[in-house]
Amino acid sequence: MIKKVFLYTWINTILLGSIVKIEAQNKIDKELNIIVFGAHPDDCDNKIGGTAALFAEMGHHVKFVSVTNGDAGHFNKGGGALAKIRRAEAKEAAKRLGIEAYTVLDNHDAELFPTLDVRHQIIREIRNWNADVVITHRPVDYHPDHRYTGVLVQDAAYLVIVPNVAPDTPPLEKNPVFLYLQDHFQKPYTFQPDIAVDITSTLNKKMNGLDAHESQFYEWLPWTEGDLANVPNDKSKRFEYLKKIWGGKGTITSEIRQSLIKWYGTKVGNSVEYAEAFEICEYGKQPTDEEILELFPMLNSK
């Protein structure tokens, strides 16, 4: 009887120890605040939806900001009515991705300029979120709204810690890390994938987020490509269409593959099917590899 009690106690101790170990591994050392600026109400979702969902699943705080209200992005809708639709789509996308907030600023689509007023809007958003990481477009892009969003966030990169700039909002005590979203533009230089994140596990969640933007991915964007007639009416078939066009499989370049190998190790890095990549901006805090692992804890899986 004594032997049975001892064995039972020993097994429970081992099991309890394993549970404690797992809980310790899953515990967040620090809750991170991530803010992403896109030019339009679907840009963040398209470029970082999978990574955002990973952050949210780990218990971190993610906010998307659209710098314009998207009121020009359609072929037969526009103005305030379209802006209302796009705000509702952004709200639904945030819910599907599991992120905390999706703010749509009231600047007109296709009319964005890097003015002082909009710069202060950006600075306030970063400060109010107490951001550890700020992510946006590179200022090299086909769309002027994308380019100027990149410029505006660059212009905020130092000023977020300056008390006398936008003094109605307290400055940050530290400068965040600023990153660029991936793009395919080549001049004046190509995108550098300093960080690459495996989003295979959250790809469907990302696609569900894009699916919320019906006015864009099933109407406006197919129309601009002359493909509107090929968009299925059936919702399940539409989702497969969306995944095929926007899922991103096969877009892992050799440079992104090397970045995945760096952060995940050779075996995992070579097996990743879907990824999102980011370039470190020269403005803001310049992180070490150790600091990147703290800011992107999903990478620390070697």
The structural domains of the chain, with segments of one domain joined by +, span: 33-299
Residue 277, Cβ density class (10 Å: 0-12 exposed, 13-18 middle, ≥19 buried):
buried
- Provide the pLDDT for residue 296: 98
pLDDT score at 301? 58
Quote the radius of gyration of the chain (alpha carbons, Å).
21
Which positions of the chain have pLDDT values less than 50?
1-26
Which pLDDT does position 17 carry in this prediction?
44
| Alpha carbon of residue 170 to chain centroid | 25
CATH of region 33-299: 3.40.50.10320
pLDDT on residue 28: 62
How far apart are alpha carbons 185 and 192 in whole angstroms?
Answer: 11
Which pLDDT score is estimated for 2?
45
This prediction has a pTM of: 0.90
Considering only CA atoms, which of 103, 75, 72 is closest in space to residue 87?
103
Residues contacting 77, CB < 8 A, separation 6+: 85, 215
Mean pLDDT across the chain: 92
Distance separating alpha carbons of residues 117 and 67, to the nearest angstrom: 12
